[in-house]
Amino acid sequence: MSAAVSDQITQPTFVATVRLVAEREITTRLRSKAFRWMFGLLLLAAAAATVLPNLVGGADPVSVAVVGTSPVDLDTMKDSDGAAYFDVRDRSVDRPAAEQLLRDGDVDAVLVFGDDSLTVLGLRDPPTRAVQAFSAAPKVELVDPTGHDPAVAYFVTIAFGVLFFLAASLFGTQIAQSVVEEKATRIVEILLSTVPARALLTGKVLGNSALAIAQIVGVAAVALLGLALTGDAISVGDLSAPILWFVVFFAFGFVMVAALFAATASLVSRSEDIGSATSPVTMLIMIPYVLSFVAHDNVLLTRVLAWLPFSAPISMPSLVFSGDAHWWEPLGSLALLVVTTVAVIAVGERVYRNSLLRTGGKIPLRDAVRDAVAGR
């Protein structure tokens, strides 16, 4: 070996190796068209979800037919938000004709003005908006003006749930594909003869986690921007603590899920088998996702979910948002999540290392975990 060549070689550290592997994962993803499309669609969805409801927001005018003569100009009647009450379709029809319009669905209500009276006709339900227009509004005072609308809390839970579920399943699947690709093309044998399996797994998990978190931050930024632009009722201030907790929980929860995806994917050798191999992990993120919707108005169930490591990233931030969490609860749940993540990585790394060179059929998950736990 010539001196010139030796100078160029360093003994790579574990960290340097992990960084190289992570860099490759990231550049490969960024170059993939599918990835860029997916990210674009996610951003678009985030923008649409926050902006659209406000653009079409406000109550729609009710379509009416008028019998008799109105003492006021119906077209100029507006509610407190400035939205018109009425869309007058037909004026000065007789009552049977107006009723027929109502039956045919051409109008939602009929206003019958008598000499000194007004009757509002509806088809089956009272046309509330038409009634409101002629009612005197009582004075309203709010006792708890800062309390959260249950609908908003539900929306927040959905947002956390969708983000975590989407990111976990998207990036989890990508990690699984990356593991199986290396196994299927047998490059894994070259890699393992060069670097430790642990460095390979760590690089993969960290590279994909970094991308996932960057994506989440991007989506969150677009969503917050959308809310700010359209002036929605949820202020950024209300959400900052839950969002912060969400990011922290997301980081650990995602690493745990990523390690699980990598370990289960290493059990198979063909990309067709990824789905069946990783289905236990998909269930582990799917069930808490669905349960968190069910639990949104049930504090006890949300609290239980907030403490379970797999649902904590979704449910604990919602619990913080709804104000039902004690200050120590996110910390305790986070500690539990971190411990679980460490345990999952330890077992997952063994499964991964043991399975990488076993090609051919699918290795039963139970066998792989048993071997890994037994320290083989």
Partner 1 sequence: MLVLDGVTKSYGERRALDDVGFTIEAGRLTGFVGGNGAGKTTTMRIILGVLAADSGSVLIDGIPVSAAARRRFGYMPEERGLYPKMRVREQLVYLARLHGWTAAAAGRSADGLLEQLELGARADDPLESLSLGNQQRAQIAAALVHQPDLLVLDEPFSGLDVMAVDLVQNVLKEQAARGVPVLFSSHQLDVVERLCDDLVIIAGGQIRAAGRRDELRAQYARRVWELGVDDPDWVPGWLDGRGTVGATTDTSVQLEAPDDVRRDLLATAIARGPVHSWRHVQPSLAEIFREVVG
Binding site for partner 1 (CB under 8 A): 1, 5, 8-12, 17, 20-21, 24, 28, 181-182, 184-196, 357
- Output the smallest distance, CB 186 to partner 1, in A: 3
Question: Nearest approach, Cβ of 201 to partner 1 (angstroms)?
Answer: 14
Which DSSP letter does residue 297 get?
Answer: G
Q: Which is nearer to partner 1, 199 or 255 (CB)?
A: 199
CB 186, CB 276: distance < 8 Å: no
Q: Which two tokens stand for residue 238?
A: 């209300």
Nearer to partner 1, 17 or 311 (CB): 17
Residue 234's CB is within 10 A of a number of other CB atoms, namely: 17
Nearer to partner 1, 18 or 260 (CB): 18
Structure tokens at 371: 């071997």
Cβ-proximal residues to 90 (8 Å cutoff; 6+ apart), any chain: 65, 66, 98, 101, 106, 107
Given the complex with partner 1, which of 20 and 241 has the nearer CB atom?
20
Q: How far is the CB of 246 from partner 1 (least distance, A)?
A: 34
**Cβ neighbours of residue 235 closer than 8 Å, sequence gap 6 or more:** none
92: number of CA atoms within 13 Å, CB side? 1
The residue (of 128 and 177) whose beta carbon lies closer to partner 1 is 177
Output DSSP code: residue 376. Answer: -
Question: Considering the complex, what minimum distance in angstroms separates the CB of residue 272 from partner 1?
Answer: 16
The nearer residue to partner 1, 108 or 349, going by C-beta atoms, is 349
Q: Are 273 and 363 in contact (CB under 8 A)?
A: no
Buried b (16+ CB within 10 A) or exposed e, 150-188: eebbbbbbbbbbbbbbbbbbbbbbbbbbbbbebbbeeeb
Question: Contacts for 110-114 with beta carbons within 8 Å, 24 or more apart?
Answer: 110/64, 110/65, 110/66, 110/67, 111/64, 111/65, 111/66, 111/67, 111/70, 111/74, 112/67, 112/68, 113/66, 113/67, 113/68, 113/69, 113/70, 113/71, 114/68
Nearer of residues 196 and 218 to partner 1, judged by Cβ: 196
Kindly state the smallest distance separating residue 373's Cβ from partner 1, in Å: 18
Smaller CB distance to partner 1: residue 128 or 271?
A: 271
d(CA 101, CA 106): 5
- Considering beta carbons, is residue 222 or 368 the nearer one to partner 1? 368
Spatial distance between the Cα atoms of 365 and 351, rounded to a whole number of angstroms: 9
Q: Is 251 left (phi over 0), alpha (psi -120 to 50) or beta?
A: alpha
Closest separation between CB of residue 27 and partner 1, Å?
Answer: 9
> Please, are residues 316 and 245 in contact by the beta-carbon 8 Å criterion?
yes
Q: Report, in Å, the least distance between residue 273 CB and partner 1.
A: 18
> Closest approach of Cβ 169 to partner 1, in Å?
22
How far apart are CB 31 and partner 1 at their closest, in Å? Answer: 8
- Cβ distance to partner 1 smaller for residue 103 or 186: 186
The four Cα atoms 35, 174, 12, 251 give a dihedral, to 10 degrees, of 90
Q: How far is the CB of 43 from partner 1 (least distance, A)?
A: 25
Bridge partners of 19, per DSSP, are none
